[in-house]
Structure 1
């Protein structure tokens, strides 16, 4: 085979291998209400863990809520409001790490109300 044929064959092989099944796989997106339920469940678990006074467990549960909230996306205004509520989660996590559970609980409750109010921005 000539160099030109080898070059064309190898180029075709690379281009065919580039289109794997992952390319055609459909990414599964959760709906906003599903994600909001998941975030609410994480926040409720964190609120339930406050009486145990385990700062690392509470901070972990708040972090899980925050990570779930990052999946929320609808429009610019929705994301702007979501980011404001996520800041409350961040503050609650910092307070939980400092063992200020009363303030962390208050921030979690405010964040929970904020997430409940996000539905009007869809």
Structure 2
């Protein structure tokens, strides 16, 4: 092979590497309003579970809310505000583990309002 053919083969090889299957794959991502509805429903579920007095169940529900909230992504300001709300969720979870259900309920109500206000940053 001549040097020109080797060079062309080398260029073609790296060009083909750039066209991998993952470049054409669609990202299976829900849109932000859907996720916010799911998060709101889970917050309501956690609020409904408070009268039962099962701190472990409530903490698990709050953890699920945090995991759903981590899927929310729109822009820098939105994510900054989302992170503040997630910190409140962590506080609510800690209160639930300590069986402070009144504090947990108050935090969850504030979290619910804060998630509703996140739509202002879209």
Please indicate, yes or no, whether the TM-score normalized by the shorter chain is above 0.5: yes
Aligned twin of 2:50? 50
Aligned mates of 1:101, 1:23 — CA distance in 2 = 48
Residue 91 of structure 1: aligned partner: 91
The two structures, once aligned, show a CA RMSD in angstroms of 1.8
CA drift of 1:62 comes to 0.5
Superposed counterparts of 1:76-87, under 5 Å: 76-87=76-87
Q: Gapped runs of 5+ residues in structure 1?
A: 1-11
Distance 1:48 1:78 in 2: 28
Tell me how far apart the structure 2 counterparts of residues 22 and 74 of structure 1 sit (CA, whole Å).
Answer: 22
Q: Does 1:61 align with 2:61?
A: yes
Provide the C-alpha distance between the structure 1 equivalents of 2:32 and 2:24, rounded to a whole number of angstroms: 24
- Runs of 5+ consecutive residues of structure 2 not aligned to the other structure: 1-12
- Paired with 1:75 and 1:24, the residues of 2 have a C-alpha distance of 24
